[in-house]
Chains A and B, each alone.
Chain A
Amino acid sequence: TQLLEQSPQFLSIQEGENLTVYCNSSSVFSSLQWYRQEPGEGPVLLVTVVTGGEVKKLKRLTFQFGDARKDSSLHITAAQPGDTGLYLCAGANTGNQFYFGTGTSLTVIP
C-alpha cells in the first residue's frame, strides 16, 4: 500500500473564499487523479494529471502535479456551496493500481 496524505482533513469555509488541498506521498506515481464524492455515492473523477509540473484548470478548480510526481494540489477559487463534498486524490503506480489519499472533507457555508 502506498500512502497518500491529504491536508487538511476537514475544511469549513465561507462562500466566496479560496482554498487549497494538498496531496503528498513519498512514492512516485505514473498518474494522479482527483475525485469528489458525495455521501452514499461513488467518487466522480475531476481530473487526471500525468506529467510532472502539469497544471490543469476546470472552471474554478486548478490542479497541479508536482515536478517529481509525488504530490499534487487542488485550488478552488471563490468556493460555492455546491463544492461541498469529500475530495480524494488517488495515485496510480506502474502496475495500474490506484491508492487513495486520506481525503479532505470540504464544507462551504452559504
Chain B
Amino acid sequence: GAVVSQHPSRVICKSGTSVKIECRSLDFQATTMFWYRQFPKQSLMLMATSNEGSKATYEQGVEKDKFLINHASLTLSTLTVTSAHPEDSSFYICSARGVWGHGQYFGPGTRLTVT
C-alpha cells in the first residue's frame, strides 16, 4: 500500500515553455502533498505544501507564479513549471501524506531538463 506515482518520469523541454508534472496517490487519499526539488548529490528542498481544495503554501524563495501547484482532488496534485529556464532543470519529487499517521510516501521523481 501507500503507492505514489509521478508522470512523466523524464521530460525535456525548450526554454520558455511550460511543463506539467502530475503526482498521484494510487491506493490512499492524500490530504496533503508536498513538492520537492533535488539537485545532483544534494538533499531534497521543500518547495511547497498543498492541501486538497486550498492554495498551496510556498517556502521562502520559491516563486509561486513560476511553480503553479494545483491539488484538485485527494489523489492528484500537479506542479506546472512556467516559462522554464535551464536553471529549472532538476529532479522534482512529490510526496503524499495520508490521514492515518506520520510520515510521507514519495513518488519516483521527475527528471526535468530545460534546453
Check B49–A97 contact: CB distance below 8 A: yes
Q: How large is the interface on A (under 10, 10 to 19, 20 to 34, 35 or more residues)?
A: 20 to 34
CB distance from B102 to the nearest CB of A (A): 5
Check A88–B43 contact: CB distance below 8 A: yes
CB distance from A1 to the nearest CB of B (A): 6
User: What 1/0 mask marks residues of chain B from 30 to 58 whose CB sits below 8 Å from any chain A CB?
Assistant: 00101010000111111001000000010
In the bound complex, CA of A43 to CA of B60 (Å):
23
A-binding residues in B (CB < 8 A): 4, 6, 32, 34, 36, 41-46, 49, 57, 59-60, 91, 93, 95, 97, 101-109, 111
Assuming the contacts A42-B106, A98-B46, asked whether A1 and B32 have C-beta atoms less than 8 A apart, the reply is no
**How many A-B contacts are there with CB distance less than 8 Å?**
61
Does more than half of chain A's interface fall in helix, strand or loop, or is it mixed?
strand
B-binding residues in A (CB < 8 A): 1, 31, 33, 35, 40-45, 48, 50, 88, 90, 92, 95-103, 105
In the bound complex, CA of A103 to CA of B44 (Å):
9
CB distance from B39 to the nearest CB of A (A): 11
In the bound complex, CA of A92 to CA of B49 (Å):
12
Most-contacted residue by chain B among A41, A42, A101 (CB, 10 A): A42
